[in-house]
Amino acid sequence: MGEELNERSRRILEAIVEDYIGTAEPIGSRAVTRRHQLGLSPATVRNVMADLEEMGYVISPHTSAGRVPTDKGYRFYVDTLLQVGQLDPQQKILIEQHYRLDGLRVDERLREAGKVLSAISSYAGVVMIPRFTSTVFRHIEFLKLSQGKLLVIFVSRSGLVQNKVIETETPISQHELEQVSNYLNQTLTGLSIREIKDKIIRDMAEEKSTYDQLLRRALELSREALCEEIGEQIFIEGACNILEQSEFKDLERMKRLFRAFEQKSLLMELLDKSQRAKGVQIFIGSESEYSEIEGCSLITASYSSSRGTIGTLGVIGPSRMNYSQVIPVVDYTARLVSQMLEIESE
């Protein structure tokens, strides 16, 4: 088990993974020798393959079939075998063309990014909307709805509009609400929500002594409005694309995947995890006890503003994914999106 793979085994594993990515069919020993000049006979390759199987990198679906990479095999491949090149300039241009998105809202732009990802990778694109807590305050507005209910609208520096409904016990007039809005807009602009949360807690402690009615109201409302995370949102675009993948001829499997898509919480969790990491993240198959996306891989990267990471986007497809192609695309897209949001907020 602890055995290091020697050069030859690596070459052969690489061959199996890459051929399998290309063909979606179990790779036999002869196929390896035929398609790759390794200077080895099929028999030798067979021996190596038996070793690889022993070590859990590949598996054969049945006695007389070729070998298929396991999750462990893919993992080894992406971690140590694969070298991701630069995105070729032509494709860069192709991607950039999709980002001439004048006059679109931030959320539309993000959704568009998902579409582009899916179109280019021909898997599914997924984009997580900036986490509320990671955004920078730009504007807030309170509107009175029915009895005791307020609509609060929040705009982040990048122009993302979010809103929620909060409840108040003590009645308040629309006029007062405007004053509160004004006050908050003056004092909070440019702060991140994280900072604001801290500030509010501090101010509330101080405020106990003061009796400024307006100030107290403003603090109360802003606490209600800002301190609770707005449900995170996630876009999944081009899910149909992965229907084309031959692994999803299996209806049952497909259903499970689509259920996972519909529920979103699972993906959310994964994206959230990758949010914290830097650079491109790769989740392979059921590596992390999520059986719903068994047989699938997720490639993600975070996008960020100058104030740090704010969201995550990526591609989800079968484990048998063209990693070398998709990874740079995801990476580049994350950069483009970061840039886009930055420009917007200037």
Instruction: Give the integer Cα–Cα distance in Å for 337 and 272.
Output: 18
Please choose, out of 99-107, 209-217, 286-294, 319-327, the segment that lies near its own copies by the rule CB under 8 A.
Answer: 99-107
| 153 belongs to the binding site for its own copies (CB under 8 A) | yes
| 297 belongs to the binding site for its own copies (CB under 8 A) | no
Quote the least distance from Cβ 156 to its own copies, whole Å.
Answer: 11
183 binds, among its own copies, DNA, none (CB under 5 to 8 A by kind): none
Instruction: Give the integer Cα–Cα distance in Å for 80 and 10.
Output: 9
| 169 belongs to the binding site for its own copies (CB under 8 A) | no
| Interface mask toward DNA for 106-145; x: CB under 7 A | ----------------------------------------
Smaller CB distance to DNA: residue 65 or 277? Answer: 65
SS3 content of the chain, % helix, strand, coil (to 5): 50, 20, 30
Residue with tokens 């899916």: 118
Long-range (24+ apart) CB contacts under 8 A made by 283-290 are: 284/71, 284/74, 284/75, 284/78, 284/319, 285/71, 285/74, 285/319, 286/71, 287/71, 287/75, 290/260, 290/266
For the segment 219-248, give every residue that binds its own copies (CB under 8 A): 237-240, 243-244
Query: How many chain residues bind DNA (CB under 7 A)?
Result: 26
In 3D space, the residue among 329, 292, 295 whose CA is nearest the CA of residue 314 turns out to be 329
Instruction: Give the integer Cα–Cα distance in Å for 73 and 13.
Output: 8
Name, in order, each residue with C-beta under 8 angstroms of 85's C-beta and a sequence gap of 6 or more.
Answer: 324, 328
Please choose, out of 40-48, 118-126, 145-153, 205-213, the segment that lies near DNA by the rule CB under 7 A.
Answer: 40-48
| 33 belongs to the binding site for its own copies (CB under 8 A) | no
In 3D space, the residue among 142, 229, 231, 230 whose CA is nearest the CA of residue 185 turns out to be 142
Sites of contact with DNA (CB under 7 A): 8, 26-31, 39-44, 46-47, 49-50, 53, 60-67
Sites of contact with its own copies (CB under 8 A): 102-105, 138-139, 141, 143, 145-146, 149, 151, 153, 155, 159, 161, 163-167, 237-240, 243-244, 249, 251, 254-255, 258-259, 262, 343-346
